[in-house]
Each structure stands twice: as C-alpha cells, then as structure tokens.
C-alpha cells in the first residue's frame, strides 16, 4: 500500500470554459483525494491557467515574469484549499517564501506533521526561484518528504517517444528510466525534475488527469494493482511500450 505520495496538478488542468477554475474538475480531484484517505498526500499545484513565465510579454524580463507565474500558483493553492474544505478535506497551503498571513512557509517537519494528521499539504509558489517549473518542486518535495512516488497529472496521458500531437508514429511508453528520458530529452516532464528524482531514487508516474478516477488508479498502480494507462519512470527497469 502506498504510504506517502506527491501529486502534481498542472494549472491548466484546473481551468475550463474560459475560466481560471473549473469546479467540476476540481470537485472530482477533491472526491478522489477523499477516497485516498490513509495515503499521506502532498499536492503541488501549477499556474499555467494564469501565467507561464516563458510566454510572458516581451517588456518583462524572465525573472519578473516567473515571479508572476509563481504568484499564480499561490492563487491556485488558496482556491483548491477552500474548495477542498467544502468536501470536508483539511489542507494547509505551503509556500517556499512568505505570502503574509495567507500561507505557511514550507518546512519538512510541519508538512509531515500535517500529513500525519490527515491534512493535505498543498505546495504553491514553486521553488521560489525563476527558471524552474512546478514539476521541479514536485520532484524536490517528493525527495525531501521521502514520498513513495511522485505523480504527474497532465493533459497528456504519459511519456511518448515524440510529441503525439505532431508525430502520429509516436509510441506511448509504459516503463522507462530517468537516464533514457534525460538522454533523449523526452518532453512530458521537466528535465530538471527528472534529474532530481534520479538522484533521489524516487519513482515517478505520468498520467492523464481527464481519465475516470485517474488519480486513484495511478496511486493503486504504484502499489502494484491494476493501473490507469500511464508511464512509470524509475532509476532502473526494462523499457516497455504500449502496443
């Protein structure tokens, strides 16, 4: 049974119908997290529904643009936390920098205590540094919190040999190593995140958020039970492809 999981939810996945937040999607995430009672959960939330530093306006320097992006992830964290409350789910929003009285500054001990009490720790604000992505902080928090696995809930349902939207011949990968992803620069997850998980020896799993019960099924798959179709990434394994 999975004991502790870090789950990365992209900002884009939270949006819908031209709005920053799609409550149908968010409520489904809350329902699934509630069903995972017993697993210690730390969420990492992205900010792509508001802003991505690298696609910001040309008059903004990259560092400033990334700061705007990081604050977008804080807005997402606060929204998720309040919406989760309506499901009876307790959570704590943690950031790597002070956001006044809105959030708690991340500490490993406080995060572990909260998860131990059954609260979900929502990591917002990324790493606190520009030029990183929220995938990176997911890998970092998973290493620091000694999570069994880091789960990446994406719009794309796994790692492919090439971008499936551009290359119809792209094959979906069932199992792969970090080394291979880094060497081949496969794009599904940030390469900096892959390097951190390789170093820490943490497993990763990439899957599509839009599949039914995908978070629950992804967590079950890490425990060796039937799985949602996604990609497991580890330090060493036999490579395997979907046919």
Interface with ligand UDP (CB under 6 A)? 10-12, 46-48, 52-54, 66, 69-70, 72-73, 126-127, 129-130, 132-134, 136-137
Q: Among residues 165 and 226, whose Cβ is nearest to ligand UDP?
A: 165
Nearest distance, CB of residue 157 and ligand UDP, angstroms: 16
Joined together, the tokens standing for residue 16 give 């819908």
Report how far residue 206's alpha carbon sits from residue 94's, in angstroms, rounded to the nearest whole number: 23
Q: Residues 137-160, buried b or exposed e (16+ Cβ, 10 A)?
A: bbbbbbbbbebbbbbbbbebbbbb
Report how far residue 179's alpha carbon sits from residue 36's, in angstroms, rounded to the nearest whole number: 31
Report how far residue 202's alpha carbon sits from residue 222's, in angstroms, rounded to the nearest whole number: 12
Q: Among residues 52 and 141, whose Cβ is nearest to ligand UDP?
A: 52
Nearest distance, CB of residue 9 and ligand UDP, angstroms: 8
Q: Among residues 74 and 233, whose Cβ is nearest to ligand UDP?
A: 74
Nearest distance, CB of residue 196 and ligand UDP, angstroms: 12
Nearest to 125 by CA among 193, 195, 75: 75
Nearest distance, CB of residue 77 and ligand UDP, angstroms: 12
Neighbours of 71 (CB within 10 A): 18
Q: Among residues 10 and 174, whose Cβ is nearest to ligand UDP?
A: 10
Nearest distance, CB of residue 134 and ligand UDP, angstroms: 3
Q: Among residues 57 and 169, whose Cβ is nearest to ligand UDP?
A: 57
Nearest distance, CB of residue 1 and ligand UDP, angstroms: 28
Q: Among residues 30 and 140, whose Cβ is nearest to ligand UDP?
A: 140
Report how far residue 66's alpha carbon sits from residue 133's, in angstroms, rounded to the nearest whole number: 9
Please give the C-alpha separations between residue 218 and each of 6, 113, 205, in angstroms, as whole numbers: 12, 25, 7
């Amino acid at each position: 049974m999975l004991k502790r999981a870090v789950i990365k939810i992209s900002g884009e996945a939270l949006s819908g119908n031209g709005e920053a937040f799609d409550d149908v999607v968010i409520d489904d995430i809350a329902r699934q997290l509630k069903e995972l009672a017993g697993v210690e959960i730390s969420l990492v939330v992205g900010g792509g529904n508001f802003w991505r530093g690298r696609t910001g306006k040309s008059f903004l320097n990259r560092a400033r643009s990334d700061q705007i992006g990081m604050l977008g992830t804080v807005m997402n964290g606060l929204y998720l936390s309040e919406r989760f409350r309506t499901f009876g789910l307790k959570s704590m929003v943690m950031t790597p920098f002070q956001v006044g009285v809105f959030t708690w500054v991340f500490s490993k001990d406080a995060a572990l205590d909260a998860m131990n009490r059954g609260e979900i720790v929502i990591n917002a604000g990324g790493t606190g540094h520009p030029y990183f992505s929220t995938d990176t902080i997911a890998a970092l928090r998973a290493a620091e919190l000694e999570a069994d696995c880091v789960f990446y809930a994406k719009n794309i349902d796994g790692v492919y040999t090439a971008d499936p939207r551009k290359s119809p011949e792209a094959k979906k990968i069932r199992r792969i190593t970090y080394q291979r992803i880094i060497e081949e620069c496969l794009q599904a997850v940030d390469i900096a995140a892959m390097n951190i998980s390789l170093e820490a020896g943490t497993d990763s799993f990439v899957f599509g958020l839009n599949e039914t019960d995908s978070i629950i099924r992804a967590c079950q798959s890490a425990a060796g039970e039937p799985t949602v179709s996604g990609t497991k990434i580890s330090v060493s394994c036999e490579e395997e492809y979907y046919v």
